[in-house]
Amino acid sequence: MIQDPIQSAVTVGVVALTILATRALPFLLFPGNRETPRLIVYLGRVLPSAIIGMLIVYCLKGVSLLSSPHGIPEALAIFFVAAVHHWKHNLILSIGGGTVLYMFLVQAVFV
């Protein structure tokens, strides 16, 4: 769909306002001179692990252990991500490297 200049300007404006609102809202809701609510602190502690767990389940939902390649590329990529992250504590390196390894395995090794 091709947009005319007015539609493009409105789209850019809406996106810019949305980004500004999501960036400013936490500072407005939780100013630095007040203590952060316990619920928010709790969610900040438990949600990262819960989200990672959900992502793992989502990524592995279509893997069949009964048919070739029996989940081997996925298992190798998961092991790589865990090992590199444990070793270097670098999210970009571990996730990026795991993605590159997985794509190499499914496109070149387990064809």
Write the pLDDT tens digit of every residue in 51-104: 989 988 999 999 999 999 999 999 999 999 999 999 999 989 999 999 999 999
104: how many CB neighbours lie within 10 A of its CB?
Answer: 13
By percentage, how much of the chain surpasses pLDDT 70? 100
pTM above 0.75, yes or no: no
Do 74 and 102 touch, CB atoms closer than 8 A?
A: yes
Tokens matching residue 89: 């504590």
Angle in degrees, 0-180, between the axes of helices 91-104 and 72-88, rounded to the nearest 10: 160
Do 80 and 97 touch, CB atoms closer than 8 A?
A: yes
